[in-house]
Structure formats: structure tokens, C-alpha cells
Amino acid sequence: MSVLPGYKEGVSGGIIAGYNIGIDGNIPKEKVDACITAFKYLSSKEIQRKYFLIENIISGITSLYDDEEICENVPCETMKKIQPINRPSSKYYHFSDYVEKFENYVYQYLYGNEAVENVLEKIEDLTNIHRISFTKKDLNNELALIIFIFVVTFSFLMVGSLSLLFVKKYEKYFSYMSKDSWIILVCGLIILIIKIFDVDLIMVEEGKNFEICKLNNAFGAILLGLIYIEWGRRTVVQDIHIHVIAIYIDIFSTTLFYITTYGFRIYLPFYKMTENDEDILKMHTSSLSCSKSLESDNEKKSFVLKLRDYHNQSMKSSITNGYISGISSDINNHEKIYAIILINIY
């Protein structure tokens, strides 16, 4: 016989077990002293030694293991080395059920043909909860990493987009609600993804234990029931399918609600900017046409003014040279031409 190894080196794995003795809280006060006397008697060294020798009931009084008569029946040196601890509790099993399963697996190796690796794996699976994790190098590592990156990226994107509420260019597109309301809305969507589910533990007999995200409201349960009504049998595989689809539906609906309510307002300034650019281009084209038309009119007017100046200069030059008779007729002709041109222009 040897001391059971504990979780840490130098610490034994002995567990305290036995009978529990207590006092009822409703006991009359006059009987309290009698109960104390009974406890002293039952826990005395003489009574402990007596029942150790008769019933082989292990005692917690370590000095008893120096008794030669007791040491003839039990290995006292081993009993002195035991470091007893309280019986461990578990939310998965009642202790007696766990011990029974543990013993059965050990006996499968000792008296059966079960390999030690399989037995150790079964013992570990009694309390081990299998999860999809990107920190473990297994088949689900890549899937867990993809889901983690998507959730974190989308959450940061939703939170980061709140900064646009304080950009002046976007203010008119979010005037539908106050800034506080938009912040509460987006944060609520993020919380909704998490709080809509409760974690439920599934204990599998002779298998891998796991946890599922269970819908905690009636609407989601009714929706899933209508979509997957043909999945009437309650098996582990079908439960996994249903809950995975529930997660996908929830993520999709939350994402769609965010895009239609908040995300499209981020795009509006870019859309409006494109329309404004087109209007500016049209205005620029129109202004070019108007300027060209004005330039053409100015050129026509400048030509008429030059013609008039030339006419006046010619007329003065003709008078100075003394050709009055011939020039008079030319003057009349020029004045007529000039009048006709002005009439056509104005």
C-alpha cells in the first residue's frame, strides 16, 4: 500500500470521507449541552480507537497510528504520510457516480484488453469540455480562427463607425436620431449577438462533452422550429445543426440590420458627392459655352468699331486732301453701310 499521488508533487491524493454529524438548527437550547457532550464522546480518542479496531473505520487522529495494536492491522507509516483533502465537488457528476465511472475505466485496463491510452482518454473525457479553439492545434483550429477574426473585425468595424457621428460632413445623414441613440443602437447590436444565447452543457455518455449556444427567447425557438420542423428527432447531431444554424441566422440578421440602419448612411456622402460632381461638370460646360458666345459677340462688336474708326479716319483724310465732291458720295455710301451693319447687329 502506498500514498496516492496528488496533482502537485509532494502532495498526496487522499480524500476525506465518512459519516457526517451535525446539530439541527431548531434544537431546543436546553438540549444543546447534551449534544456537545455527545460530540465530545464520539470524537474522543478512546471511541475512535475502539471503532478503528472493530469496524476498521479510519480516524483523523494521527496519534492513533503510533499505537502498536492498530499498526498490526494498517500500515501506520503510510497513514501518517497521507494529506487528506475535502471530497472534490463537480457540477458535472455526483461524486459517487464519478468514482464509479473512474473505477470501471481503470478495471478495463487492469482486467480487460483496453489500451492504456484509450482508458486515459476516457477518464479525461469525464470532466473535459471539448471546445473549438484557435489556440489548440487540432482539426478545428482553422475554423475557430476564421470565426474569431470575423467576429472581432466586424465588432471593431461597428464600434469604429461610430466616430463618423462626430464628422461634420456626415451629421445631416444621421439626423434621424440623436448621437446617443445611434451609439446605444450599435452597442446594443453587438450585445445582442452575445446575450441572445445561453451556454448549455451537453454531457455525452461514453463520448465527448461539449457546450452549445442555446436561444434564450421564444421568438428564435419558434423561428427555428418553423424552418427545421422536419428535424423531429432529438439527436446530438441534429441539435448541433440547429444551434449552428441559429448562430448563423442571428449573425446575418444583426449584420443586415446594421447595414440597412446605420451603414448605408456612411455611403450617402460619397453618393451625393458623385451627383454634385456631375452638376459641377454640367455647369462648367455651360459656362464655357456662354463664354465662347460672349467672346464671339465681342469679336463682332470689335470688328464694327474698327470699321467705324476706319470710316472716320478715311473721311477726315478725304476732307483734308480737298476731294470734297467725290468723297461726299462715298461718305453717303459708307454711312448707309454702317447704318445697315448696326441695324443687323442691334
Let me know whether 274 and 167 are in one domain. Answer: yes
Pick from 87, 111, 138: which residue ends a domain? 87
Has residue 102 got a pLDDT over 80?
A: yes
Residue 85 pairs in a beta bridge with 15
Nearest one of 86, 49, 96 to 68, comparing CA atoms? 49
What mean pLDDT value characterizes the chain? 69
End-to-end CA distance of the chain: 130
d(CA 272, CA 225): 44
Q: Is residue 176, in this structure, part of any structural domain at all?
A: yes
What pLDDT sits at residue 328? 46
Has residue 31 got a pLDDT over 70?
A: yes
What pLDDT sits at residue 107? 92
Neighbours of 21 (CB within 10 A): 10
Q: Is residue 204, in this structure, part of any structural domain at all?
A: yes
Q: Is residue 105, in this structure, part of any structural domain at all?
A: no
Let me know whether 263 and 178 are in one domain. Answer: yes
Neighbours of 265 (CB within 10 A): 19
Let me know whether 254 and 303 are in one domain. Answer: no
Q: Is residue 110, in this structure, part of any structural domain at all?
A: no
Let me know whether 172 and 265 are in one domain. Answer: yes
φ and ψ of 53, to 5 deg: -75, -35
Has residue 148 got a pLDDT over 50?
A: yes
- Element at 243 (helix H, strand E): helix 236-258
Residues spanned by the domain of 261: 163-281
Number of domains comprising the chain: 3
d(CA 14, CA 222): 51
Q: Any idea how long the chain is?
A: 346
Q: Is residue 180, in this structure, part of any structural domain at all?
A: yes
What pLDDT sits at residue 236? 45
> Which residue type sits at 5?
P
Q: Is residue 154, in this structure, part of any structural domain at all?
A: no
What is the average per-residue pLDDT within 169-192? 76
Could you tell me the CA-to-CA distances from 62 to 13, 47, 67 in Å, in that order?
A: 17, 14, 10
Which residues, at least 6 apart from 257, have a Cβ–Cβ distance to it below 8 Å? 189
| Band (154; pLDDT cuts 50, 70, 90) | confident
**No. of H helices and E strands in the chain?**
12, 3
Q: Is residue 332, in this structure, part of any structural domain at all?
A: yes
Pick from 87, 104, 123: which residue ends a domain? 87
Has residue 186 got a pLDDT over 50?
A: yes
- Asked if 239 contacts 211 with a C-beta cutoff of 8 angstroms, the reply is no
